[in-house]
A and B are shown apart, each in its own frame.
Chain A
Amino acid sequence: MKRKWNRLIPLIITVGQVVVFPYYVIWLKGVSLTFTLFAWLFATHSFSAAWGYRTFQTKKNKQKSHISFVYFGMGCAYLVVGQFNIEMDLLPYIALILQVLLGFLQGYFRAWHVEQDSYHLHAVNHYILVGWIMISLSFIKIISPVVIISMFGWLLCGCGLLKMLGKNVSN
């Protein structure tokens, strides 16, 4: 059972990331004040993801992946997004830090994920699940982006916890 969960978590996370993406973009656009800043924030995310990806790739001991902390880190970043009032002066700066953090962790996670046996099976399921979820979400008309983002944050923290527990049990 635990093994099954451990195999399922990466799928939940990849699907969740895509599903939450449009909501995150709406939040980010609201925070960005100008399109230039919006584009720069995305660029920051991309460069950080390259950094995270390469950090995992060049890791000597890949068995010690610390992936549960990566889940926690991503979860906390999304929870922070859910916490901040859109009118705050410092929000663009907070968004910048979050973009670096999320980019790095997502890059790191992806580099780890592609090396898992289940990766190719996940890829197919991922596309199908995202399709179904997005269609379902399209029927929910009034929901604030920060609610979905926060829910995903909690889910990621839960995954981190499960992963940690799973590891302790197998140890």
Chain B
Amino acid sequence: MKRIVKSPWILCFLVLIIVILVAFNIPIEKRKYGLAQSGMTTDYTGLLPEHVDRVVKATNRTDLQNIVKQANLEGKHISIAGLQHSQGGHTYYKDGIVIDMRTFNKVMEVNKQEKTVRVEAGASWEDVQKAVQPYGLALKVTQSQSIFTIGGSLSVNAHGRDIRFGPMADMVKEITLLTPKGDIKTIRKNDALMGYVLGGYGLFGVILDVTLDLTDNELYTIHTNKMKTSEYESYFKDVQSNAEIAMHYARVSVAPSSFLDEMYAIDYYKTGKYDQKTKLKEESFVHLTKYSLDMGRQGGFLEDLFWNTQNLYMKQIENSQITRNNVMRSESTFMEFTKPGKVEVLQEFFVPVGEYGEYMKDLKQFLPANDADDDFKIHNITIRYAAKDKTTSLNYAKEDMLGLVILIQHGLQEDDVQNAKKMIQKWTDITLTHGGTYYLPYYPYQTKEQFKESYTNWKDFKDEKQKLDPNEVFINNFYQNYLK
């Protein structure tokens, strides 16, 4: 100790070490959103702040039943909130009651023999993964991250990297539902009501718990391939017919020098080995990935540099092994974005697999390759497969589709929002001409007409809603915007 205090150089060295330690532990600032934003409720983007009457934490079924019955009597409105990653006010309504499902999150039973899990709907995929992983089991379909609730995911009928088990709706065996009248009901596969509750955006009652089919937590080998965008359509058809590939996704370049020309495909090959021991992965290298994305966010040559670093990353992961559970829990913190006056939103457009090549050509005509000086910037495009869905009423995949998930940044000034609206509406038009649709959990830049053209079943959905919930007890901004 004496020696340390005596020499200024040793002290200097100590300071250096501390500085390095602190610099690596500076946390990434997270978006502030949700149910308690100074009296106003928001969701993930914070774009639609609204006053709500009160927020009720879901704890037991009888209380929830009473709230619904009371709302019927008093003409009150209820919205349901999971982790609120939806972006268009889907989880709240002006002066309504919000049921916060996050506290309703027990994993009730894991059945190893039947490969099923029964879980309360406020649990996240992460909770389910923690419960099923020790049995060597994994989920069949989830988003690529595990940060969402089961109820929230089923209510949008989400999709991810799996290409073998069909839409998310197909893995649901049974649902316990609190109906708009306040009854508790069990609904099973093939019940007509299933198609309205799944992908029903919380408009047909509260999903209390669900029983989901599981599969084995297989070990996969990652193979990555760089290709021209024009080659991807036939590449993907080969992937589909190759039974050895269990999961897949792809990235499209948004860097100016290879804009919409280059792609990486990431395939997960079966190894036939099953895993019970590998730990669920935690977020790693968060700062590195966050600052790489921040670099890409600057646009121009920095975005080229970002694309090239992804090239290095692809080389690094080539031939590495990963469990099914870990494929389904990608990092998310690196996406945090808190720049004042700007917002980052997601949009997703689906086109039939056979239309992909032509669609990308049209997009290339429409979008500027270098958006460094524009307000409307595209930071990332990934491609997911959305299998043909025969269950849900508001169906975004009437045939096998490829979904382009797009990360967009734009300003919050009125002009900027209007410009973003114009761009996204044009983009939607292009998608519609290719027989495509767009995804509904995000901010509603689209017009009501575009909604109706995309979701041709909308009338049936609305009629059923009015039949089952004549008092419009379950309502949210999504309903208000598109269906009222």
Contact = CB atoms under 8 A, between A and B. Distances in A.
A37 B27 contact: yes
Contacts of B15: 44, 47-48, 51, 100, 103-104
A44 B338 contact: no
Contact of B22 (A33, A44, A58): A44
Contacts of B7: 54, 58
A84 interface: no
A89 interface: yes
B18 interface: yes
Contacts of A96: 19, 22-23, 26
Contact of A44 (B5, B19, B339): B19
Contact of A51 (B11, B22, B340): B11
A37 B8 contact: no
B24 to A, nearest CB: 11
A34 B27 contact: yes
A93 interface: yes
A92 B26 contact: yes
B29 interface: yes
A49 to B, nearest CB: 10
Given A47-B11, A89-B294, A37 B19 contact: no
Nearest to B17: A47
Interface string B16-46: 0011011101110100000000000000000
Nearest to A48: B15
A40 B25 contact: yes
A100 B19 CA distance: 8
Contacts of B6: 54
A44 B18 contact: yes
A34 B22 CA distance: 12
B14 A89 contact: no
Contacts of B29: 33, 89
Interface string B218-239: 0000000000000000000000
A87 B338 contact: yes
B12 interface: yes
A87 B25 CA distance: 19
Contacts of B19: 44, 96, 100
A50 interface: yes
Contact of B11 (A36, A44, A50, A87): A50
A28 B25 CA distance: 16
Contacts of A92: 26
Contacts of B26: 33, 37, 92-93, 96
B338 A37 contact: no
A41 interface: yes
A100 B26 CA distance: 16
A93 B12 contact: no
Given A37-B27, A47-B11, A96-B23, A87 B340 contact: yes
A43 interface: yes
B235 to A, nearest CB: 37
A37 B19 CA distance: 12
Interface in A74-97: 87, 89, 92-93, 96
A93 B5 CA distance: 27
A55 interface: yes
A93 B23 contact: yes
Contacts of A51: 8, 11-12, 14-15
Given A87-B340, A93-B23, A55 B14 contact: no
Interface in B338-378: 338-340
A47 to B, nearest CB: 5
Nearest to B29: A33
A18 B340 CA distance: 33
B254 to A, nearest CB: 21
Interface string A98-133: 001001100000000000000000000000000000
Interface string A20-42: 00000000000001101100110
A89 B338 contact: yes
B46 to A, nearest CB: 14
Contacts of A37: 22, 25-27
Contacts of B12: 51
Given A50-B11, A54-B5, A33 B27 contact: yes
Contacts of B8: 51, 54-55, 58
Nearest to A37: B26
Report which residue of B5, B19, B29 has the largest number of chain A beta carbons within 10 angstroms of its beta carbon: B19
B481 to A, nearest CB: 30
A107 to B, nearest CB: 9
A48 B27 CA distance: 22
B336 to A, nearest CB: 10
B10 to A, nearest CB: 9
Contacts of A100: 15, 19
A48 B5 CA distance: 12
A141 B7 CA distance: 45
A105 to B, nearest CB: 13
Interface in A2-32: none
Nearest to A41: B22
A89 B291 CA distance: 10
A139 B6 CA distance: 45
20 contacts: A34-B27, A37-B22, A40-B18, A40-B25, A44-B18, A44-B22, A47-B11, A47-B18, A48-B15, A50-B5, A51-B11, A51-B15, A54-B7, A87-B338, A87-B339, A96-B23, A96-B26, A100-B15, A100-B19, A103-B15
Report, nearest first, the 10 A-B pairs whose CB atoms are least far apart. A51-B11, A54-B8, A55-B8, A87-B340, A92-B26, A40-B22, A47-B15, A48-B15, A33-B27, A44-B18
Given A93-B23, A104-B15, 20 more contacts: A37-B27, A40-B18, A41-B22, A44-B15, A44-B19, A47-B11, A47-B14, A51-B14, A51-B15, A54-B6, A54-B7, A54-B8, A58-B8, A89-B338, A92-B26, A96-B19, A96-B22, A96-B23, A96-B26, A100-B15
